[in-house]
Amino acid sequence: MIRLRRTLLSSDTAELLKGYTDDIRQQPTEQERKDRAKELWVNRRQVRPALVKGLVEMAPGHERCMYCGDGQGTDIDHFEPKSSAPLRTFDWLNHLLACSVCNSNQKRNSFPLAADGSPLLVDPTVEDPLNHLRLVLPAGKYQALTDRGRASIEVFGLNTRAVLVKGRVDAYLTARYWLRLCHMAMDQGRHDEAKEIIRLAWDHPLVDVLVAMFHQSGHPAADALFAGEEEILDLLLDAELRSAFLHSRGISY
């Protein structure tokens, strides 16, 4: 899971969403609002293409899931489920792109709340997941830094889905390869090739691994985090390479 920037919808689409929400709000009871929200969402053909287009533009890599970063994002997920918050059914700020596993198998209608009523799941379009999660790079597993991080790991099965863990381990090996290739291309003045390598690296599934590598390389305990990987740490800290990778994504660590 990585930090994502939410795009703006067209004024026409925003107006359509507002109309749907007003329709739901006019229902006299909470149950009727839930029923109306479900009915309208099933028949959302008028706005679905615009919503999908906006979410795809925000998603990591090639339409990757905003939660696991691995599967293709095929579903419009309601961060706060429409079953518990019908008035947010057509709220653009409540929509995320998810793979069917994260949306239908893992999250479903789960939406744990803290004692103060705030969400316990991390919304990557609102805050940086790295404030709540730390990836143990060689192991491919996440450690929770907060209760929200812990809930997100549990709800999305980030550590229990073997395909994700194995995928992150392989992504770590692949990212090291990208770094070496890019550094070599830069040293030899092949800057167009370096740009292409950087593009491929960011478009790779499980890009949360690459983000974590750059983030952790700037940590005070970086020497311990990359013990035995001094060459990789040096590459991650190389000013030219670091700038090229991070500036291409608008990231600053």
pLDDT tens digits for range 45-74 = 889 999 999 999 999 988 999 999 999 999
- pLDDT at position 251 is 79
Residue 77: predicted pLDDT: 96
SS3 192: helix
Helix axes 162-187, 230-237, angle to 10 degrees: 60
Q: Is the pTM of this model over 0.85?
A: yes
- Predicted pLDDT of residue 163: 96
Q: What angle do CA 143, 236, 240 make, to 5 degrees?
A: 145
pLDDT at residue 249, rounded to an integer: 82
pLDDT attached to residue 43: 86
pLDDT tens digits for 1-18?
A: 999 999 999 999 999 999
Tokens 């863990």 belong to 165
- What is the pLDDT averaged over residues 99-126? 94
**75-89: pLDDT as tens digits:** 999 999 999 999 999
Strand-pair partners of 141: 136
Q: How confident is the model at residue 250 (pLDDT cuts 50, 70, 90)?
A: confident
Helix (H) or strand (E) holding 36: helix 30-42
Q: What is the mean pLDDT of residues 137-159?
A: 96
Residue 44 banded pLDDT, cuts 50, 70, 90: confident
| Mean pLDDT of all residues belonging to the chain | 94
User: Which residues is 142 bridged to in the sheet?
Assistant: 135
Contact between 206 and 70 (Cβ < 8 Å) = yes
How many residues appear in the chain? 253
171-184 residue pLDDT tens? 999 999 999 999 99
Q: In this predicted structure, what is the pLDDT of residue 206? A: 96
